[in-house]
Structure 1
């Protein structure tokens, strides 16, 4: 499944659209084409503050437009610089609930010149669907986004 999405991701990042439109197109593509991706969005470091700011996303609206570093899965990834796969969000003490339907989450940091500038966040209504293949694919997506995103 992911192999067929790779050329589509590179086509989006190479397109003439503005960066936010490209990011939104990536979110919409992933939400539509990957059955267990129910909410797909980008969070980016909010200037010099120790918080993340919501960027383009596809899925249900969220109240979580700003997330302090350390808070929730996204905030933990902002500090750890490591992928975080959560098979069961109910088992996480530091989880910020976005929807009662969300069962699992994966967050992969986005690096530019070795600095963690943001992340891609995927919520799934399916329990424990994420594999190492999801991680590698999302790392690829972020590497492509890093080529076009200017912090």
Structure 2
């Protein structure tokens, strides 16, 4: 799997003028899940800065009870505060981790910036220990740059 080959499809999915933003994001989640074998849960969380909470947006994968996450809590909440990518090779070794499912072994979260403001993030869980590389980070940064154009 070559991330560079996926980029044009990301652009195509997000530029469909007849599709609503929520549906574009859901379609993107499905595309990423289908295209990368170790992307087992793919979703977006969006920030409410006044309440200091993240709210679950479109996603693909197992149902989750984590529809609202306080800033600072779990990997997603930490990214809301740090504004930095967070790669967790093995979730069992992470202290401040919110377990979604016993099948989740690793996680990557990349913040989504619009006009310099962290408005949310893409969150990906994997059933594999330590699958994420710097190539995943760069690709997901690209994905978020494209997603930011929707806002």
Q: Same fold (TM over 0.5)?
A: yes
CA–CA distance in structure 2, aligned partners of residues 121 and 60 of structure 1: 13
The 5 A counterparts of 1:11-26 are 11-16=12-17, 17-26=19-28
2:8 aligned residue: 7
Q: Which runs of 5+ in 1 are unaligned?
A: none
1:117 aligned residue: 119
TM-score (norm 1): 0.97
Q: Which runs of 5+ in 2 are unaligned?
A: none
* Two-structure CA RMSD over aligned residues (Å): 0.7
TM-score (norm 2): 0.97
Q: Which moved more, 1:70-79 or 1:8-17?
A: 8-17
1:99 aligns with 2:101: yes
Q: Which moved more, 1:127-136 or 1:40-49?
A: 40-49
Structure 2 SS opposite 1:15: coil
For residue 46 of structure 1, report the CA deviation from its aligned partner. 2.4
1:72 aligns with 2:55: no
Structure 2 SS opposite 1:44: strand
1:38 aligns with 2:45: no
CA–CA distance in structure 1, aligned partners of residues 65 and 48 of structure 2: 16
Q: 1:97 and 1:121, CA in 2 relative to 1: closer, same or farther beyond 3 A?
A: same
Q: Deviations over 1:44-91 (max 9, x none)?
A: 012621000000000001000000000000000000000000000000
